[in-house]
Structure 1
Amino acid sequence: MNMTIPDARVMDVRTSLPRHKTLRYGRRKPSDIRSAAMHHSATKSGTPEAFAGYHVTTNGWPGIAYHFVIQKDGVIYWCNDPETISYHVDNSNRHALGICIVGDFRTQQPTAAQLDAANRLIQHLQVQIPTMKQVLGHQEYPGYAWKNCPAFPMGKFRSDYSQYLQKPVDKPDKPQQVPVAISLNGSLLSVTGFLQGGVFMLPVRAVANATGGKVEWIAATQDVRVNGKDLNEKIIEGSAYAPAREMAAALCLQAEWDGKTQTVKLRGCVTE
């Protein structure tokens, strides 16, 4: 995901925050995200590292609950992939993305820099994730009417945010698809994949068939599975393509990129 936001500073801390030794959050498709959930930290100060440590050590969660944390100076900390199903609104977790603004707004007020950053972040995310149409406070989710979070008026926040929506938003250019070859244990396959937005995409059925993998189409959820594992696939002209690293993991293969020959090399055992 492109997280370059005009007039905003974003710090990517996804790989540096405390994580549980064994537990891992589930994953979803970006199109599963329906809303942004606004939280306050309920602390006068704090850092993503401190929040992650509390969520892991005290709560026993796989990692930090929030996808983004906004400090008082307006710096946005990117804590989880949007596809991560983290714990922050209970039964609504699968469809909600969590944004935490640092502060205890029962006794404090969000800074102007925080509100500006939150508005810019949400606007940017709604371009990247068109299904994320709602912006709700924590207490507006089912089962949380009792909870005073984020403890600032959501009606006013949404009203102020609507002013941002009136401004034209430049949608990012669609990344160009660059064809790439695919080899399996040193032999070129007759099909090709492509590189788009820094991700190598491989044709699911062709690669699975070449390696003896089992492909399933789940009509109810419009999902493709390989050997029982869900993929973040794209359907292009009726064919499914999935990230090379996900395909390799599902097929128990190793994947590497050969820049000289523009080839995704798959290596490992093939089941006949």
Structure 2
Amino acid sequence: MKITKLVVHCADTPNDRDVTAEDIHQWHIQRKWAGIGYHRVIRRNGVIEQGRPEYWEGAHVKGYNSTSLGVCLIGRDQFTDAQMQSLERVLRDWKVKYPNADICGHCDLDPHKTCPNFDVKGWWETVNQKELVSDES
């Protein structure tokens, strides 16, 4: 599988409700899918949970599943600092394995979606700017 996109999602659940990868797995099975569609889930406390193995094609972004990995932030539009730190960690790990993959939000690939309700590309640029500054000091 040639990975060209690393896609950030949100669960679109209430911001104050914690949900697990197992919960999402059950929801997706109820929809008659083959289980959880994401490869990683980041809970409200920042814990990173395994979804599908990376070698399994995801079910998270129509038209791109065969060439992407998906990570899902629990919540709708207010993510915790712990979640954002974990998101950075997941994406950095994936970038080591797939250095040419683009990082984007679900909404960047589907104009009918607002998920994950923030500018992933802009956030990633900011994260990388901070790292450059701290590397130089």
Q: TM class, shorter-chain normalised?
A: 0.7 to 0.9
Residue-pair matches, total: 131
Provide the residue aligned with 1:18 in structure 2.
none
Higher share of residues assigned helix: 2
Provide the residue aligned with 1:60 in structure 2.
32
- Are the counterparts in 2 of residues 68 and 77 from structure 1 also a CA contact under 8 Å? yes
In 2, Cα distance between equivalents of 1:121 and 1:155: 15
Structure 2 counterpart of 1:138, one-letter code: H
Provide the residue aligned with 1:162 in structure 2.
128
1:40-119 correspondence to structure 2 within 5 Å: 40-44=10-14, 45=17, 46-57=19-30, 59-105=31-77, 109-119=78-88
Provide the residue aligned with 1:125 in structure 2.
94
In 2, Cα distance between equivalents of 1:127 and 1:99: 16
Instruction: Answer yes or no: is 1:39 the counterpart of 2:9.
Output: yes
Provide the residue aligned with 1:145 in structure 2.
111
Provide the residue aligned with 1:263 in structure 2.
none
How far residue 124 of structure 1 moved from its aligned partner, in angstroms, is 1.3
Q: Closer, same or farther in 2 for the Cα pair 1:162/1:147, shift >3 Å?
A: same
Deviations 1:120-172 (A, max 9, x none): 111111112334x211110111xx1021100122243122332366377xxxx
Q: 1:64 is paired with a residue of what secondary structure? A: coil
Superposition TM-score, scaled by structure 2 size: 0.87
In structure 1, runs of 5+ residues without a counterpart are 1-28, 169-272
**RMSD in angstroms over aligned alpha carbons?**
1.7
Structure 2 counterpart of 1:156, one-letter code: G
How far residue 40 of structure 1 moved from its aligned partner, in angstroms, is 0.3
- Are the counterparts in 2 of residues 123 and 165 from structure 1 also a CA contact under 8 Å? no
Structure 2 counterpart of 1:33, one-letter code: I
Considering only CA atoms, is the larger Rg found in Structure 1 or Structure 2?
1
Structure 2 counterpart of 1:124, one-letter code: D
Q: 2:72 is paired with a residue of what secondary structure? A: strand
In 2, Cα distance between equivalents of 1:67 and 1:150: 16
In 2, Cα distance between equivalents of 1:77 and 1:164: 26
Q: Closer, same or farther in 2 for the Cα pair 1:121/1:81, shift >3 Å?
A: same
Runs of 4+ in structure 1 off by over 2 angstroms are 128-131, 153-156, 163-168
Structure 1 counterpart of 2:11, one-letter code: S
Q: Closer, same or farther in 2 for the Cα pair 1:92/1:165, shift >3 Å?
A: farther
In 1, Cα distance between equivalents of 2:22 and 2:130: 30
Provide the residue aligned with 1:134 in structure 2.
102
Identity of aligned residues (%): 28
In structure 2, runs of 5+ residues without a counterpart are none
- Are the counterparts in 2 of residues 123 and 164 from structure 1 also a CA contact under 8 Å? no
Q: Closer, same or farther in 2 for the Cα pair 1:34/1:67, shift >3 Å?
A: same
- Are the counterparts in 1 of residues 21 and 50 from structure 2 also a CA contact under 8 Å? no
In 2, Cα distance between equivalents of 1:73 and 1:80: 21
